[in-house]
Structure 1
């Protein structure tokens, strides 16, 4: 959708060395952003580069796709992704239709991005290839075991040591970067909910829709299906050009450990309660590739930058999101874009601390606000049967009966749809970084230049020295 011409990246006048710890979406995106600014970047990934790629689906919101479009990746993304413009909401237990949401084309155009559906493996492959094309050195089977921020060093299990002017920790909430920043390991506290992801053949999973859902479903818009249940929920959306669907189940679960890359779990069928939508029931009973990601609470990081100004954490290492959150990957890519934009202005090493703290200032407020929204979405989907839940369902159904989108505003209210687009989808993180540079970065550079000029004007030389004799001294000498 974006008609913005891919930008020719601005190159920093001073180019420095970055080491990125991790090899996921956040790491690769940050490597691209920094390499576009002309810096030397090495990525250290502990896996072989294949086992850290998942076959599960991702929803890419417009605020993320616009960045990748701006980086010149629009056509490559559209070659592997589906553009989605609609959602369908139903009850998990009864298949009852609650309503639909069709994003207005002109409204989405304002965001300069698209809502995309694709697989993690396709996005990871595209970012890897793009990073290499920009000169990034990606080292696989390179497990970082120690980070020494004060020295700007990372040490590998192999015994090798890499030094950098700045270390970017993009290895997730369980990675060594976060531990090195806070000085201890944060295991997180399970909250009793797991997100279980599975892929399934589309014809088998989505076929034979009930008549009411069949009439409401907009398959040409690559509809996302959301089912609200009693303390549970599910999402489903097409991937791989509709050959498969990704299913994400939100279930009550007392398991304490589980994350991406684990072996398939065997208890999805027992975790999804009955009664249940027959299609969701079939997937839960027959999925052979279900992966459990346990939802945990992690401590909030006050600072993302080490005192040495040699280590900064981004993505999940800095801010965690539920695995079902649409904005989780988006926030990581926004982090990467802001970091790259700021360091495209680097002209002296004494700017490094101010750029890192500016990154935290720009990103922390945004991520905290989006975290609250995403956790609210989990609660909204999994609301327990109650008067509040019944009021929610009735409000959605009333709008649907009136021919309205479920996110349409009530009479007299500001457009809820536009409000979300403006605040979330319409946000341009690169513009925010540019604004910081114009408002604060340039001001500091000018102030520093004025101080240096003043220092040169009053520089000490012996030629400026003279002997001053007072009148009293003259009188005394007489």
Structure 2
């Protein structure tokens, strides 16, 4: 590499830290500004699918991440009553055989801390308690509310759903839009669970879905089977303008009256819960500004419903592809073309996944009736058999799963560089 960039990343979430690692690995100078005072335990669980878990080794993440994850052995879809609609008894084996990388469940903060440790090990400077105030595009400069200024060659907008960078690009306030759903997020320690059968359920890692009229639930173990994450997806009843608030445990339980006794028994142990409004954005016209000094990654440009667990995973993909391409930069004059190549590789995929999440919501939230009966017939016709053709659960659908899980960001970069040699040639003149 003949030239290197000074890169300013706005946001130390998963997309920001992934981009920081990927760019620092290839020799660029990276600074990250983050408005939070500390990287605390915000959020709950994440399902890291092979398209993202394969990057852990590539980035050299610390061993701590592997000590904190669990690899679910089975995946089951239930009707809300508890009846089994789909079941993969060797899910972990199938995933590794197909994708040469595992499907793992992890607490968000464990992954964030592993990314943070690797980024700082690579020399990335991370500035906490720094909230973006203004952004100048030419030359690239970020000014924070504390009055500090950060100048660089490129600004990466990794500031999530409520992106201030997005507002700077489009020139107006651009709040996310409600999807009509909200999530109750529940985390239970195994010690909170008295019933021995339910404790064994948590300690023997597995993924379960319950699908019902207008709602569905997903549960999975975390932290070596010491904890279970339960997410309950229901119609949104939060007031306009409220994105998160403490929920009523009684209200939550009432919504699932008559559901599988296993699920309702888990809910009986819950003593507090938060409600999160699920939001999205219209697709952006471009992820790059006119002067090629600002580029977007993650939820700042393609927020999505959590119904395929791809929000975090696709954000890690973004960071890997952007950093990988910038690793081939030989002259700063190549930056505009490299950013356009990044956008061409990532924008259509990110937006297609976001659209697919709404399709999964449709198939998991069907009201009881003829369409639901037909859906269940498709499920049950392949129970215990190798699944073929379109399938209502994209988690094991042979058409959708390979598209999601088979993606290799590192190979994507290598292939793109090979297809576009002219972008990466530097002139001797």
Q: Give the alignment's TM-score, normalised by structure 2.
A: 0.90
Equivalent position of 2:405 in the other structure: 425
Give distance in 2, aligned partners of 1:338 and 1:50. Answer: 24
- Pair 1:280–1:204, CA change in 2 (3 A): farther
Q: Does structure 2 conserve the Cα–Cα contact (< 8 Å) formed by 1:111 and 1:421?
A: no
Structure 2 unpaired stretches of 5+: 391-395
Structure 1 residue 232 corresponds to structure 2 residue 221: no
Structure 1 residue 443 corresponds to structure 2 residue 425: no
- Pair 1:430–1:167, CA change in 2 (3 A): same
- Pair 1:287–1:23, CA change in 2 (3 A): same
Structure 1 residue 175 corresponds to structure 2 residue 146: no
Shift of 1:254: 2.4
Structure 1 residue 404 corresponds to structure 2 residue 389: no
Q: Does structure 2 conserve the Cα–Cα contact (< 8 Å) formed by 1:234 and 1:248?
A: yes
Question: Which residue of 109, 112, 122 maps to 2:100?
Answer: 112
Structure 1 residue 434 corresponds to structure 2 residue 414: yes
The DSSP-based 3-state class of the residue aligned with 2:302 is coil
Equivalent position of 1:465 in the other structure: none
Give distance in 1, aligned partners of 2:119 and 2:129. Answer: 18
- Pair 1:437–1:422, CA change in 2 (3 A): same
Which range moves more in the overlay, 297-306 or 284-293? 284-293
Question: Which residue of 4, 14, 29 maps to 2:3?
Answer: 14
Question: Which residue of 247, 254, 257 maps to 1:265?
Answer: 247
Q: Does structure 2 conserve the Cα–Cα contact (< 8 Å) formed by 1:107 and 1:418?
A: no
Q: Does structure 2 conserve the Cα–Cα contact (< 8 Å) formed by 1:81 and 1:117?
A: yes
Shift of 1:203: 6.8
Question: Which residue of 20, 30, 46 maps to 2:19?
Answer: 30
Alignment deviations for residues 415-436 of structure 1 (CA, whole Å, 9 cap, x no partner): x755444322111112111211
Structure 1 residue 333 corresponds to structure 2 residue 316: yes
Q: Which has the larger radius of gyration?
A: 1
The DSSP-based 3-state class of the residue aligned with 2:225 is coil
Give distance in 2, aligned partners of 1:293 and 1:114. Answer: 28
Shift of 1:289: 4.1
Equivalent position of 1:306 in the other structure: 289
Q: Does structure 2 conserve the Cα–Cα contact (< 8 Å) formed by 1:272 and 1:281?
A: no
Q: Does structure 2 conserve the Cα–Cα contact (< 8 Å) formed by 1:195 and 1:324?
A: no
- Pair 1:236–1:69, CA change in 2 (3 A): same
Q: Does structure 1 conserve the Cα–Cα contact (< 8 Å) formed by 2:50 and 2:405?
A: yes
Equivalent position of 1:387 in the other structure: 370
Query: Any residues of structure 2 matched to 1:214-253 within 5 Å, and which?
Result: 220=204, 222-253=205-236
Q: Does structure 2 conserve the Cα–Cα contact (< 8 Å) formed by 1:195 and 1:323?
A: no
- Pair 1:426–1:343, CA change in 2 (3 A): same
Give distance in 2, aligned partners of 1:160 and 1:219. Answer: 48
Q: Does structure 1 conserve the Cα–Cα contact (< 8 Å) formed by 2:202 and 2:225?
A: no
Query: Any residues of structure 2 matched to 1:273-312 within 5 Å, and which?
Result: 273-284=256-267, 286-312=269-295
- Pair 1:257–1:58, CA change in 2 (3 A): farther
Equivalent position of 2:31 in the other structure: 42
The DSSP-based 3-state class of the residue aligned with 1:153 is strand
Equivalent position of 1:359 in the other structure: 342
Q: Does structure 2 conserve the Cα–Cα contact (< 8 Å) formed by 1:33 and 1:337?
A: yes
- Pair 1:59–1:304, CA change in 2 (3 A): same
Superposition RMSD in Å: 2.5
- Number of residues paired by the alignment? 420
Equivalent position of 2:393 in the other structure: none
The DSSP-based 3-state class of the residue aligned with 2:184 is strand
Structure 1 unpaired stretches of 5+: 1-11, 411-415, 454-478
Give distance in 2, aligned partners of 1:173 and 1:271. Answer: 30
Give distance in 2, aligned partners of 1:44 and 1:370. Answer: 28
Q: Does structure 2 conserve the Cα–Cα contact (< 8 Å) formed by 1:190 and 1:297?
A: yes
Give distance in 2, aligned partners of 1:422 and 1:432. Answer: 15
Equivalent position of 1:100 in the other structure: 87
Give distance in 1, aligned partners of 2:104 and 2:254. Answer: 29
